Amino acid sequence: MGKALGRHILLELSGCPYALLNDVEYVRKSLLEAAERAQVTIISDSFNMFNPHGVSGMVIIAESHISIHTWPEYGYAAIDVFTCGDSALPERAVEYLVEAFQPEEYTTYVVKRGILREEIPQAACEIDTRRVSCAG
Residue 131 has pLDDT above 90, yes or no: no
Cβ proximity of 78 and 12 under 8 Å: yes
Query: How many domains are contained in the chain?
Result: 1
* Rounded Cα gap, residues 34 and 51, in angstroms: 26
pLDDT tens digit string along 54-103? 999 999 999 999 999 999 999 999 999 999 988 999 999 999 999 999 99
Contacts of 30 (CB under 8 A, 6+ apart): 96, 97, 100, 101
Closest CA to 111 of 82, 91, 133: 82
Tens of pLDDT, residue by residue over 103-113, are 999 999 999 99
Return the CATH number at 88: 3.60.90.10
| Residues tagged active-site | 64, 69, 84
Q: Which domain holds residue 128?
A: 4-134
pLDDT at 41: 97
Which pLDDT band holds residue 4 (cuts at 50, 70, 90)? confident
Question: Which pLDDT belongs to residue 117?
Answer: 74
Q: What is the mean pLDDT of residues 108-135?
A: 60
Q: What is the mean pLDDT of residues 15-19?
A: 98
Instruction: Give residue 58's pLDDT.
Output: 98
Which residue in 93, 91, 95, 108 sits closest to 33, CA to CA? 93
